[in-house]
Structure formats: C-alpha cells, structure tokens
Amino acid sequence: MPNPNSLAIGGFTHPSSAACAPEPMAGTWENVDTNTRGITVVNYIWECNDVILCPVGELCLNPPRTRIRVFGSCHPTDCDWGESVIQFHPDGNWRYARYDQGFAKRIVWLRMETNGQPTVVEDVDYQDHRTDRVTWYR
C-alpha cells in the first residue's frame, strides 16, 4: 500500500517536507476580560502546504493558508463570526482580516509583541448611525 506522505521519483521514495517556516502567531488567543462585550476568542489557523506538481508539469509552491476564526461576546454563548483570510501588512508586523457583518464592517488586526503575547485590535465601521470604534485587546 503506498504511503500518502511520500513522493515517488524515479523508483525511489522520498519523504515529503514542508516548504514554509513555522508561524509564531498560530494558536488560540482568549480574552482575559471575562466581562468583555467585544472579541472573546481568536483562533489563528495556519496550514503549511507542501510543494505540489503544477498542471504544466513544473514544481510550484502552494502557499500557506492562513486565516482566523473570531468569536464575539453574545449571550448565552459566544457568536461565531466565521473564518476570514489573513492579509499581511507591508510593515511585516501586523496581520489583519476583514469581516462584513452587514450592520458593521470590521477589521481585526493582530501582532505578536516582543514578550510573546499577541495584541488584537478591532476596528469597527458601523453602517448605521452608531459611532465607529477601535478597541485594543491584550
């Protein structure tokens, strides 16, 4: 039975290997403020993909798939905002994802601090009469 984790080349079997470096932001951040009315949990999901064979017969990279799943404070259970693809800011430090919830357009910003703790920033653009807001979470 073939090993799904190996690649056969010229009759020899070589183990596959990841084509990307580890992502330090990967994991789950939980808000320490149990009384928050904002973001309660951010799951930072990072999947490293291997080198794949392109349709034209050349090797190419399948870039890592990076996304977040955000949960906001709701009662009796937190609201799942769903997954959104992570974009990387040109400064190299910040990452962000966009959520369009109809009544509000949100950008969730993330950055790893030098102490190893993430900073999460929620930038909300309300689509009604409410005042827009920016909330920092640490």
Question: DSSP label at 100?
Answer: E
Token pair belonging to 106: 């949100």
Q: Are 52 and 58 in contact (CB under 8 A)?
A: no
Give the CA-trace dihedral at 105, 126, 29, 98, to 10 degrees.
10
Q: What is the pTM of this model?
A: 0.74
Residue 6 placed within a domain = no
Residue 38 placed within a domain = yes
Q: What is the pLDDT of residue 38?
A: 95
Residue 127 placed within a domain = yes
Residue 103 placed within a domain = yes
Give the strand order in the sheet containing 95-100. Answer: 87-88, 95-100, 104-112, 118-126, 133-137
Structural domain including 116 reads: 24-137
Is 102 exposed, middle or buried (CB count within 10 Å of its CB: 0-12, 13-18, 19+)? exposed
Residue 3 placed within a domain = no
Q: Are 95 and 89 in contact (CB under 8 A)?
A: yes
Residue 13 placed within a domain = no
What is the count of structural domains for the chain? 1
Residue 85 placed within a domain = yes
Q: What is the pLDDT of residue 57?
A: 61
What CA–CA distance (Å, rounded) separates 4 from 6? 6
Q: What is the pLDDT of residue 32?
A: 92
Q: Tens place of pLDDT for every residue, the chain, 138 residues?
A: 444 443 333 333 344 445 566 777 889 999 999 899 999 999 999 887 665 566 666 656 555 678 999 999 999 999 999 999 999 898 888 999 999 999 999 999 999 999 988 999 999 999 999 999 999 998
What CA–CA distance (Å, rounded) separates 46 from 65? 6
What CA–CA distance (Å, rounded) separates 17 from 12? 16
Residue 7 placed within a domain = no
